[in-house]
Structure 1
Amino acid sequence: MASRASSEVRVSGTPAPIPALPGLGTTWYERGARYWLRRALGAVVWLAVLAFFVYVALVLYGSFRGGLSPAVRTVWDRVQAVASCGALVWGWRVQRRDHRKRLQDPPTPDEARRNKRAATLRSLWPALVGRLAFVFVAPLMPACTAWYVGWVAAAFTVRAYPSEVGARRWLEERAG
């Protein structure tokens, strides 16, 4: 358990609590070893999720691919390879563009928690529908998966999350 001094910052002469951010807790304030450990563990968990997602995508694609003639299969595999490379770059760019946009107006700590809760609730329905969609998009799974891999990789390779920037600005406003 953190000491009282480590979880408070002086704001206008009185101690104010450092807000806990989703996924980072209060480690974002000092950006020490615990902060980087949390970020690394988050990336490892997402890497495991992505590995499973890629495996499922390749199995579904393989089941679709098995019904094609050898000549068509070769052409379709090459199209998928090119589309997957393009989708990987596209996913990376979409995430970076969104990150830059969110850095322009970062959320306060309360908004970050509210946004995280709302995103979790919003993701439930697409997750259920997405399981059915796998069957219909099996021919395009490599490219779809590559886009998602690029998007997630870009999300974990940023210097600071918008919630951190927003929390720092929130603390500065309270100090000034």
Structure 2
Amino acid sequence: MHRTRLAVGQLLLTVLVGFFAGAAYSGFADVLPPTARVVAGVLEVVGSCVALVWGWRSTRKQIREKLLNAPTPEQSWRNMRASRSRAAGQAAGGRWIVLLAPLLVPLVAYLLGMVCASAFIRELPSEVGARRALGQEA
């Protein structure tokens, strides 16, 4: 249930960011001449398709590597705590996205590929590590 709520939340966030990216790209494309607008639109579609597959594949590869060397429950806890402390730096780094309007749509497609890949896994690496740790104690 927790994993489902997490996946739905990430998907909703990705959709919201996608709407923002679409609006930003629309504002960028409106100032282009008609021919350039068509070329830019085709490049956006192709770039988005490539980014979607790239995001999916890279996330699946990371998950596969983490499953081979699954963390113990203590390591999972430390990793979760360490990732939460970096939130302020990640939020400040997001300001540059506004300047990259033409790249926003492919970036959102990459993010969507990552979210979908992580949503459709059978077990999280932390779950595998916890199961292994319980098996070693028994």
- Interval of TM-score (by shorter of Structure 1 and Structure 2): over 0.9
Moved over 6 A (4+): none
- Secondary structure of 1:129's counterpart equals helix
Larger Rg: 1
Moved more, 161-170 or 59-68: 59-68
Q: CA deviation at 1:171?
A: 0.7
Query: Following TM superposition, by how much is the alpha carbon of 1:142 offset from its aligned partner in structure 2, in angstroms?
Result: 0.7
- Output the amino acid matched with 2:119: F
Aligned twin of 1:167:
130
Give the structure, 1 or 2, with the largest relative contact order (CA under 8 Å, sep 6 or more): 2
Unaligned runs of 5+ in 1: 1-36
Q: Supply the distance in 2 between the matched residues of 1:171 and 1:141 (Cα, whole angstroms).
A: 44
Q: Please state whether the residue corresponding to 1:158 is helix, strand or coil.
A: coil
Q: CA deviation at 1:38?
A: 2.0
Match of 1:118 among 79, 82, 88: 82
Partner of 2:117: 154
Identity of aligned residues (%): 38
Give the CA RMSD over aligned residues.
1.0
| Equivalent residue, structure 2, for 1:45 | 9
Instruction: Using structure 2 for the length normalisation, give the TM-score.
Output: 0.95
**Deviation for aligned residue 1:165:** 0.3
Secondary structure of residue in 2 paired with 1:137: helix
Whole-Å Cα distance in 2 between the matches of residues 72 and 48 of structure 1?
A: 32
**Aligned pairs, number:** 138
Q: 2:97 corresponds to which residue?
A: 134
**1:65 aligned to which of 29, 33, 42:** 29
User: How far, CA to CA, are the matches of 2:45 and 2:87 in structure 1?
Assistant: 29
Partner Cα distance (2:64, 2:84) in 1: 22
Q: Which residue of 1 aligns with 2:49?
A: 85
| Aligned counterpart in structure 1 of residue 66 of structure 2, from 99, 102, 112 | 102
**SS of alignment partner, residue 85 of structure 2:** helix
1:9 is aligned to none
- Give the letter for the 2:62 counterpart: D
AA partner of residue 88 (structure 2):
L
Q: Offset at 1:97?
A: 0.3
* Whole-angstrom distance in 2 between the partners of 1:135 and 1:47: 21
Bigger strand fraction:
1
Q: Normalising to structure 1: TM-score of the pair?
A: 0.75
More helix by share: 2
